[in-house]
Amino acid sequence: MTTDKATGSLVYGWLILSVFSLVFAGIFALMVALARTPVIEDMLPLGRDYIYVALVGHVVLAVVIWFLAFEGFLWMYTTTVRLGRKTASVPLGWASLALAGTGMALIVAASLFGLGTAELANYVPVLLSPVFYVGLILFAVGVALNLINTFLTALAARMEGVELPIITIGMLSAGAAVFVAFVCFALSAYFQLYTGKIFLDFERLFWGGGHILQFANTISMVTVWLYLASLTFRNEPIGKGFSKLLYAFYLVFIIPAPFIFFMYDTSSLAYKESFTTLMRWGLGPSTTIFMLAILATFSTGKRPWKEPGFSSLVLSIAIFFLGGLIALNISGVNTKIPAHYHCVIGAVTIAFMGLFYELMPRLGRAVHSPRLAMIQPYLYSAGIVLFALGLYMAGAHGVARKTYGSEQNLNNIWKLLGMSIMGVGGLVAIAGGITFVWNALFTLFGREKAAIAAGNTQPVA
């Protein structure tokens, strides 16, 4: 299917932004390692404390910006290219992309030069710096404007009688979750300031909306699963009507979230537990049914393990399942917790990477190195699994989360072994990430054109 040049450029722009977020996330992962290296650590901004600044930069870019930027690409793609339509507003589209890109640049600058001390809040860690704050706000505004443009485009399509495919419905559901998350962030800030606080408690500020963002990421991942399965097997893993019900079930737990701020004070335990309860009961049922339906399709045809779309689909499901198993065994505040969420966010990332390889020919670009694309999902996934298992082992023997260096108290063989496995896994995952970024950049900016015209092999979904 075709679309106009301006819309195509916007779709491409969000994809480029998402890939560059991984570039800088990788740079800050390297900076974290350098901040633990003798001599070099004293040469960095803020000296040895720079490890916390680099960690903030890495997490925000790898988890917040990468996910939302790629979802921004998917919102545009599923309502324009996938439907063969123009975007509702090209100027609004460019404004959203420009604001998001500027915001990311400010976040990178603040993290690179150590502008402010680190606050390692859950979901969205921050640097206590106006530059970083402005960067976060600009990026969020850019994402919000992109969402508005997406909803307007989808509404125009429905008014013209266009039947929306499952991938579009899924991404609109994820968009609704992001919108609710932003409302939660705004309400948390308002009620904290309304009660007379001089400084925001960032842990409480991002707690509610952060939980809802996990709904958005999970919905996006499941939608990508469905799309990859339909590309491989040429049929929908699950009926469209039932899929709508499953997406609606997510929304049942998402939409009431803002009302929690009117029920409980943000400093109360009930406030924190309410969002934990929403995520505990709201994410599992629909995700499990989608997962089982997709796994059932594996018996309907050949399983092309050398194709990155299919291997990424299988690996994403497997690692997400591993993250769920780890979650069932979490007790106390230890490294089992990051073991769980690294599996979950790793599963989302693997799914997004696999979809990148599959969609590039449909956007008129040939993947630069099919061989690297074939190997990369396995490399990255192996790293994530080792990283998580190492953290789980260390946590099972008492290593606390968010501790570094001597604070980890690695006083027995199991703690040392667990953290060593984690380190090896981290290196393998970084190698997998670098491989993806290298291939993606040469694909996006290289001269190779796809042999297949965009749209000739659209999936059922």
Q: pLDDT, tens digit, for every residue of 420-434? A: 888 888 889 989 999
Q: pLDDT, tens digit, for every residue of 293-348? A: 999 988 776 788 889 999 999 999 999 999 999 988 877 778 888 899 899 999 99
Q: How many angstroms separate the Cα of 255 from the Cα of each of 58, 215, 249, 278, 281?
A: 30, 11, 10, 10, 14
- Do the strands 118-119 and 126-127 form a parallel or antiparallel pair, or are they unpaired? antiparallel
Mean pLDDT value of segment 230-246:
91
Question: What is the structure's pLDDT at 450?
Answer: 61
pLDDT surpassing 80 at residue 283: yes
Contact 72, 14 (CB under 8 A): yes
Per-residue burial over 58-79, b if 16 or more Cβ lie within 10 Å, else e, is: bbbbbbbbbbbbbbbbbbbbbb
Tokens 């061989």 -> residue: 371
Mean pLDDT value of segment 26-54:
69
pLDDT surpassing 90 at residue 200: no
Rounded-to-integer distance, Cα 15 and Cα 83, Å: 18
Angle at CA 110, nearest 5°, toward 104 and 111? 90
Contact 25, 54 (CB under 8 A): no
Question: What is the structure's pLDDT at 456?
Answer: 43
**Residue 413: band (very low, low, confident or very high) from pLDDT cuts 50, 70, 90:** confident
Q: Name the percent of the chain lying above pLDDT 90.
A: 68
Q: pLDDT, tens digit, for every residue of 89-110? A: 999 999 999 999 999 999 999 9
376 versus 404: the higher-pLDDT residue is 376
Question: What is the structure's pLDDT at 8?
Answer: 92
Q: pLDDT, tens digit, for every residue of 156-193? A: 999 999 999 999 999 999 999 999 999 999 999 999 88
Secondary structure of residue 144 in the 3-state scheme: helix
Kindly compute the dihedral angle of the four CA atoms of residues 225, 226, 227, 233, in this order, to the nearest 10 degrees.
110
Question: What is the structure's pLDDT at 396?
Answer: 84
Question: What is the structure's pLDDT at 175?
Answer: 98
Question: What is the structure's pLDDT at 44?
Answer: 62
**Residue 403: band (very low, low, confident or very high) from pLDDT cuts 50, 70, 90:** low
